[in-house]
A and B are shown apart, each in its own frame.
Chain A
């Protein structure tokens, strides 16, 4: 599983960070950083939640 972020869409609302702080981090420069682009399979449910909850639909999962 690979996490792909569309940085053109991302508005740093930090919803994903609330769901999975081990994978997503919005820093004080207001930008989102993907800390782990290839999370373990046991994080799939959280990743799908992040995909669905992102207000900008900026996150996708590639298998």
Chain B
């Protein structure tokens, strides 16, 4: 049995893994190391309630102090892990080496930046609480023309909050349709329609060629020669995993920390959350999964992996799912559709923006999408867990009427 476990990254995956260890009865020392000074907080509200001004930041705390304290964690905030030597079982924190017994890597990811806009005032990304509060402060100060670059889910949520606060929003996407990569063309268009109905100016299939000016007086130049004036710009073009500090550690890094199917990255080392790449035996796909639920589940799985022998270790094989709240619509997706999957609306209507849709490929159900259809998505997720055939899934959905 291990004496201690060190968790690097004090966000969702890291904190939930520490809690899982205690719940499972692990009584040894648990060190939880995070580079932000804030108490560990939840990120989904940052592009929703906190940005909207409906919640004060304290409300986004992941685990309140009265529940955190009894866990007896060695919680070290505002410090950075700067290196690892896997073979020597040594971690380096702010340059100072310390031995580890078991190591869980949950350092997450950071926003990709738009080349040429780094450090430009008035250009924001949204990942941390400080990022959120900076955008919120700009909106509070009267900024009401926003350009969002990148029509992914973060960008779409920021757009939706800004519209709710009375701003006019232009959403720029280089791909031909928003949400294309995640939802496919047809369903991506439905989400695009939700935004268009709220007055968002969608510019798809056009890249950004320049961003200039400053807060309150920015100009975004597009590749087609047009320009958009804005008070602030939010860039949401994806994230890159935080693995720089692991260069030379002995771990395999390849768009994330490469793990085996059980979340083991090396002897005594596991990874979880946005930073972890593993092959999910359910899909056969080697990927990082950047969803909230995955951080929780993989954190738990990876923590337990450290307390298990190689012989007894189980693969991590979830049906991943996520949700996104945009305006008064709740979008949920379970499973991982491919762009060329067959899509079938099985409940409700896309015109009313209340529906459930199935994705299928090779005779199997591959994903379930819902817009204000949480019950159906979760029932669909259960079908995915059972590996349900396409025809059979359609028969089940026919009963939902």
Once the chains bind, are A26 and B325 in contact (CB under 8 Å)?
no
The answer to the question of B286 belonging to the interface, with a C-beta cut-off of 8 Å to chain A, is no
How many interface contacts (CB-CB < 8 Å) are there between A and B?
35
Closest to A15 in B: B378
CB of B51, distance to nearest CB on chain A (Å): 15
Known contacts being A18-B379, A55-B44, is A12 close to B330, with CB within 8 Å? yes
Q: CB of B382 within 8 A of chain A?
A: yes
B327 on interface, CB distance cutoff 8 Å: no
User: Interface size of A by Cβ–Cβ distance < 8 Å?
Assistant: 14
Contact with A along B293-325 (1 / 0, CB 8 A): 100100000000000000000000000000101
- Determine chain B's interface SS by DSSP, over half rule: helix
Q: Which of chain B's residues have a CB closer than 8 A to the CB of A30? A: 330, 372, 374
Asked if B26 is at the interface (CB within 8 A of a chain A CB), the reply is no
CB-contacts of A1-35 with B (<8 A):
11-15, 17-18, 25-28, 30
A18–B293 touching, CB < 8 Å: no
Contact of A14 with B293 at beta-carbon distance under 8 Å, contacts A30-B330, A30-B372, A55-B323 already known: no
- Counting CB contacts under 8 A, is A44 at the interface? no
Q: Does A43 contact B (CB under 8 A)?
A: no
In the complex, the answer to whether A26 meets B375 with C-beta atoms within 8 Å is: yes
Q: Give the residues in chain A near B330, CB-CB below 8 Å.
A: 11-13, 30
Q: Of A14, A18, A28, A53, which one neighbours B296 at CB under 8 angstroms?
A: A53
Query: Is there an interface contact between B325 and A17, defined as CB atoms closer than 8 Å?
Result: no
A18 x B381 contact (CB < 8 A): yes
Q: Mark B345-380, 1 if CB is under 8 A from A, else 0.
A: 000000000000000000000000000101101110
- Per the bound structure, the CA–CA distance linking A3 and B88 in Å amounts to 48
User: Do B292 and A17 touch across chains, with their CB atoms under 8 A apart?
Assistant: no
- Inter-chain CA distance A25–B332, complex, in Å, is 17
Residues B257-311 near A (CB distance < 8 A): 292-293, 296
Cβ distance A7 to chain B, nearest Cβ, rounded Å: 15
Instruction: Classify chain B's interface size.
Output: 10 to 19
User: Is B378 a contact partner of A14 (Cβ separation < 8 A)?
Assistant: yes
Residues of A close to B44: CB separation below 8 A: 55
Q: How far apart are the CA atoms of A1 and B378 in the complex, in Å?
A: 25
**CA of A17 to CA of B392, assembled, Å:** 22
Residues of B within 8 A of A26 (CB): 374-375
CA distance A30 to B376 in the complex (A): 11
Contact between chains at A17 and B332 (CB < 8 Å): no
B381 contacts A13, CB within 8 Å?
A: no
Residue of A nearest to B329 (CB): A30
Across the interface, which residues of B come within 8 angstroms of A13, CB to CB?
323, 330, 332, 374
Chain A 26-63, CB-CB to B under 8 Å as 1, else 0, gives 11101000000000000000000000010100000000
Chain A residues whose C-beta falls within 8 Å of the C-beta of B375 in the assembled complex: 14, 17, 25-28
Distance (whole angstroms) from the CB of B154 to the closest CB of chain A: 16
A55: chain B residues at CB < 8 Å are: 44, 292-293, 323
> What are the residues of chain A within 8 A of B332 when measuring CB–CB?
13
Contacts of B377 in A (CB 8 A): 14
B residues neighboring A (CB under 8 Å): 44, 292-293, 296, 323, 325, 330, 332, 372, 374-375, 377-379, 381-382
Known contacts A14-B375, A53-B293; 20 further A-B pairs (Cβ under 8 A): A11-B323, A11-B330, A12-B374, A13-B330, A13-B332, A13-B374, A17-B375, A18-B378, A18-B379, A18-B381, A18-B382, A25-B375, A26-B374, A26-B375, A27-B375, A30-B330, A30-B372, A53-B296, A55-B293, A55-B323
| Cβ contacts A to B, 10 pairs, < 8 Å | A11-B323, A12-B330, A14-B374, A14-B378, A15-B378, A17-B374, A18-B381, A18-B382, A26-B374, A55-B293
The 8 closest A-B pairs by CB, nearest first: A14-B374, A18-B378, A14-B378, A26-B375, A26-B374, A14-B375, A12-B374, A13-B323
